[in-house]
Amino acid sequence: MADQRERVFSGIQPSGTFTLGNYVGAVRHWGPLQAEYDCIYSVVNMHAITVRQQPAALRKATYEAAAMLLASGIDPEQSVIFIQSEVPQHAELSWVLACNTMFGELSRMTQFKDKSKKNADNINGGLFTYPILMAADILLYNAHQVPVGVDQKQHVELSRDIAQRFNNAYSDTFVVPAPLIQKQGAKVMSLQDPAAKMSKSDPNENAYVAMDDAPEVIMRKFKRAVTDSGGEVRRAEDKPGVSNLMTIYGIMTGKDDAAIEAEFAGRGYGDFKEAVGQSVIDVFTPIQQRYGEILADKAELERILREGAEKARRIAAKTLSKVYRKVGFVSN
């Protein structure tokens, strides 16, 4: 019998090692969603080349990203996991969707504006049309829910608009997707600048914790984390550094704000930062161990990805041929 559950799709770029932000905002939810949804997850390497990449480093990071997803709880028996460039329909659908997306819409994307500032010497067409490829990723699989961090909300909303526009023009074709954003931890902030998002492309390595950082490195980064004036562990608008650490600690330990405030009442930031570091180490250590094991068996990893790509291609080919028919492309 066909799977009657709603479908989930999400993607992550192999543009460096995943950060604590990627884990908290996105990846940690992907395993548990398998119980309720029919899940498809992709390492979106085609998105990564919007910024210049070293080919060998990209190849390596692609396998590492897949291994980290598996280590974080994606089960290839329950979900489809694949590498985006192995499914040609993403690029093909992207063209049709591009012809149904407005220049003005793309111009409003805040990520494009940010990344153009950061890569002023390489504002290429891919950086501008990136949200169209992302819409193709989602619409090819008729995903209902797209679990992402809050920074991707605008892109998922554009995917919705594109789907609706296509459906109105050519009759019902795509499921209209919705962003699935968790209340807690949808935006983890930089450890060095609590006004900025924790980002894996931050030039300052102390700003983020990578999922494969050694325990002593994780601890050092938390000890150096920027806090606020005063010495009290309390969530407040004028304490963005401490509030960010409380969010991280709460997610890692399951404790709520009141419990955290009580635990550190009368103790300084030093104790608190050490506890936060340890809580992250406790969660990451078993993931890092599985990650090492998965990477050590390259043949098995390749087999999983080959199977995932085959399954993805089957679904994607169906959607694409429907779209081609609807827009009036001939097929001989």
Q: What is the largest CA-CA distance in the chain?
A: 76
Binding flag, residue 145, ligand LTN (CB under 6 A): no
Other CB atoms within 10 Å distance of the CB of residue 275: 19
Backbone angles phi, psi at 90, to 5 degrees: -60, -50
Let me know: does 195 contact 271? Beta carbons within 8 Å: no
List 200, 255, 311, 326, catalytic entry: 200
Give the nearest distance from C-beta 188 to ligand ATP in angstroms. 4
Binding flag, residue 186, ligand ATP (CB under 6 A): yes
Let me know: does 241 contact 194? Beta carbons within 8 Å: yes
Active site residue 115: yes
Which one of ligand LTN, ligand ATP, none interacts with residue 22, CB within 5 to 8 A by kind? ligand ATP
Active site residue 113: no
Q: Which range touches ligand ATP (CB under 6 A), out of 10-18, 35-43, 253-261, 270-278?
A: 10-18
Residue placing its CB nearer to ligand ATP in the complex, 18 or 264: 18
For every residue of 252-300, DSSP letters joined together read HH---HHHHHHHTTT--HHHHHHHHHHHHHHHHHHHHHHHHHHHH-HHH
Q: Which of residues 149-168 bind ligand LTN (CB under 6 A)?
A: 152, 155
Going 42 to 306 to 94 to 2, the CA torsion angle's sign is negative
Give the nearest distance from C-beta 19 to ligand ATP in angstroms. 6
| Residue choice 165, 200, 220, 234 for contact with ligand ATP (CB under 6 A) | 200
| Residue choice 26, 138, 139, 218 for contact with ligand ATP (CB under 6 A) | 26
Structure token digits, residue 231: 């010495």
Which CB contacts under 8 angstroms, 24+ apart, belong to 56-65? 58/14, 61/14, 61/15, 61/16, 61/17, 62/14, 63/295, 63/298, 63/301, 64/14, 64/17, 64/212, 64/295, 65/12, 65/13, 65/14, 65/18
Which one of ligand ATP, ligand LTN, none interacts with residue 9, CB within 5 to 8 A by kind? ligand LTN
Backbone angles phi, psi at 197, to 5 degrees: -65, 140
Which one of ligand LTN, ligand ATP, none interacts with residue 142, CB within 5 to 8 A by kind? none
Active site residue 273: no
Which one of ligand LTN, ligand ATP, none interacts with residue 138, CB within 5 to 8 A by kind? ligand LTN
Give the nearest distance from C-beta 127 to ligand ATP in angstroms. 11
Task: Write the interaction track for ligand LTN spanning residues 12-41; mark x where CB under 6 A is met and - where it is not.
Answer: xx----------------------------
Task: Write the interaction track for ligand LTN spanning residues 267-306; mark x where CB under 6 A is met and - where it is not.
Answer: ----------------------------------------
Binding flag, residue 64, ligand LTN (CB under 6 A): no
Which one of ligand LTN, ligand ATP, none interacts with residue 201, CB within 5 to 8 A by kind? ligand ATP
Let me know: does 140 contact 84? Beta carbons within 8 Å: no
How many angstroms separate the CA atoms of 177 and 10, rounded? 11
Going 258 to 261 to 264 to 266, the CA torsion angle's sign is negative
Let me know: does 43 contact 84? Beta carbons within 8 Å: yes
How many angstroms separate the CA atoms of 36 and 30, rounded? 11
Compute CA distances 33 → 5, 243, 328, whole Å: 11, 27, 37
Give the nearest distance from C-beta 197 to ligand LTN in angstroms. 11
Binding flag, residue 15, ligand ATP (CB under 6 A): yes
Contacts with ligand ATP by CB under 6 A lie at 12-13, 15, 19, 21-22, 24-26, 148-149, 151-152, 186-188, 197-201
Contacts with ligand LTN by CB under 6 A lie at 9-13, 44, 47, 134, 137-138, 146, 148, 152, 155
Residues marked active site are found at 115, 197, 200
